[in-house]
Amino acid sequence: MRQKNTYFHTIDWVTIGFYFALVFMGWLNIYAAVYDEQNATSIFDFSINSGKQLIWIGTSILLIIIIMVADYRLFHNLSLILYILFVIILFLTPFIGKEINGQRAWFELGIFRLQPAEFTKFATALALAKLMESQSFDLGKIKDQMKALGLIGLPIFLILLQPDTGTAMVYSAFFIMLYREGMPQRYYIIGLSLIGLSIITLAIENNLYLFGGIGVLTLAFITLSKKTWRNILGFGFMGIIMAAYALSLDYVVEKLPDHQQNRIMVLFDPDVDPLGVGWNVTQSKIAIGSGGLLGKGYLEGTQTKFDFVPEQHTDFIFCTLGEEFGWIGSFVMIALFAGLLLRLVFLAERQKTRFSRIYGYCVVSLLLFHFTINIAMTIGLFPVVGIPLPFFSYGGSSLWSFTILLFVFVKLDSNRIEILGRS
């Protein structure tokens, strides 16, 4: 008895509170997104998505219980096996999966459809933690960097075959964890610079201005630095690299299939392809923007309910919240997410083993990436990629996978003292 009490004490109820608050908000919004005033059904009606989501929530609670009563060592021991298993499933998916929207990303189990790629994130996180836990693993070494990147790269490659660019992109989130674990800073400086340069390249249509800007920047660096030959050549080389990168990016974007090209260009010009990609972003912004400060009131929205926003209960679920609860609602939801993430960073830092900490940072990375990209795409800050909003979006695969991902960490955290004792 006494031991059980201690056990409950070690569980981080703050995280669980954030989790249920987000799941509950998501469920209310899924109902609002499909609500039809003329043909109103109960939020519990299993024939509509909010009812189905309730099943997913219920089964998620079951999963939580299973995870919490399981032996924490199981996740440590199974990590590589799970990873290999999911890589095999991913490999097979394009051959035996069900084709939906031109992607073979789904397995059909009776009336339920599952998306293996969602669960592979969890398996990859465990595998990364396992790989990197040894004291000799050092991200400062190229060899170890390659190992980690290889582990991340394999599922990306397989998901791209489905093809599902959005989900594949999610794996880049692990760079957040790698940063914490000591990946050299220069990679991030270069990476962020390239992202910045890419945005500028795509935003500036006239290449003359772009190259002019790069030239001026290079000259400025040369003028301001010590005028050694080394510096002059170095900065000159940097300028040439930047110009070459900009040129090749333009070239690559032009060679992309139209729909992908439009997804990017619509960020800079909403009138590109107004009935295709532009339609999604424009309508999504209209829905959110029309919410004002306080929102139109629960179930009073018109834009998501009347299908102006596509995918309104999955990837664009944030529109319903923005429309019906306004900026205040958005604030509450983003505050909940930020609170959860900061809590998880705090929990990860207090872990006694590298395995738990690395896994904790993997959870932070994946949640932060999903959350940021999903909301950013609904308000036109990021191209439209089909990734769900964790805990919010309708769908079993998404809710299950995020629940498992999160609660395995909650479980590890609750056993952090014992883990220490063991090792």
Partner 1 sequence: MYTGRSLVVAVSIGVIAMVLLGKLFLIQVADDSYLRKAERNAIQRVVDHPYRGLVYDRNNALMVFNDPVFDLMVIPKDFSLKDTSRFCTLFDIEKTYLIENFNAAKEYSWVKPSPLIKQISKEDFAKVQDFLIDYKGLFVMTRSVRSYPQSAAANALGYIGEISGPQLSQDKSGYYVQGDYVGQSGLESYYEPELRGRKGVKYKLVNVRGIEKGAFKNGDLDTISFPGENLQSTIDLNLQLYGEHLMEGKRGSVVAIEPKTGEILTIISSPTYDPNVLKGAKFGQNYEILNSDQEKPLFNRPIMAMYPPGSIFKIVQSLIGLQEGILTPNTTFSCNKALVNCHNHPSPVNLFGAIRNSCNPYYHQAFRQIINQDISSNTYTDTQIGLDKWRADVLKFGLGNRLGIDMHGEKGGSIPSSELYNRIYGEGRWKYSTIYSLSIGQGEMLVTPLQMANLAAIFANKGFFYTPHLIKSINGDASRIPEKFKRKRDSGIDAGHFDMVQNAMVEALSGTATRAIMTDITIAGKTGTAQNPAGEDHSVFIAFAPKEDPKIAIAVYVENAGWGGRAAASTASLLIEKYLTGGIDRPQLEDYVLKGEFIY
Residues within the interface to partner 1 (CB under 8 A): 36-38, 176, 179-180, 182, 274-275, 279, 283, 285-293, 302-303, 305-308, 322-323, 326-327, 330-331, 334-335, 337-338, 341-342, 345-346, 348-349, 361, 364, 368, 372, 375-376, 379, 381
Closest distance of CB 312 from partner 1, Å: 10
Please state the closest distance from residue 387 (CB atom) to partner 1, in A: 15
Distances (CA, A) of 178 to 75, 117, 189, 407: 20, 21, 14, 21
Amino acid at 387: I
Give the tokens for residue 16.
């669980």
Partners of 98 in the β-ladder: 106
Q: Which is nearer to partner 1, 58 or 297 (CB)?
A: 297
Nearer to partner 1, 117 or 364 (CB): 364
**Nearest to residue 140, comparing CAs of 206, 187, 184?**
184
DSSP characters over 179-218: HHTT--HHHHHHHHHHHHHHHHHHH---HHHHHHHHHHHH
Strand order in 103-109's β-sheet? 98-100, 103-109, 112-114
Which residue, 107 or 279, is less far from partner 1 as judged by CB?
Answer: 279
- Whether cis (ω within 30° of 0) applies to the bond prior to 274 is no
Provide the minimum distance between the beta carbon of 21 and partner 1 in the complex, in angstroms, as a whole number.
16
Q: How far is the CB of 275 from partner 1 (least distance, A)?
A: 7
- Distance between CA atoms of 205 and 46, rounded to whole angstroms? 50
In whole angstroms, how close is the CB of 306 to partner 1 at the nearest point? 4
Contact 267, 255 (CB under 8 A): no
* Residue whose CB is less far from partner 1, 97 or 278: 278
* CB of residue 226 to partner 1, shortest distance in Å: 30
Nearer to partner 1, 93 or 283 (CB): 283
The candidate with the shortest Cα–Cα distance to 301, out of 283, 274, 276, 280, is 283
Query: Can you read off the two tokens belonging to residue 260?
Result: 């992908």
- Coil/strand/helix, residue 250: helix
Cβ proximity to partner 1: between 265 and 333 the closer is: 333
Contact 60, 399 (CB under 8 A): yes
Helix 258-265 to helix 229-255 angle (10° resolution) is 120
**Shorter beta-carbon distance to partner 1: residue 175 or 394:** 175
Give least dist CB 136 to partner 1, A.
20
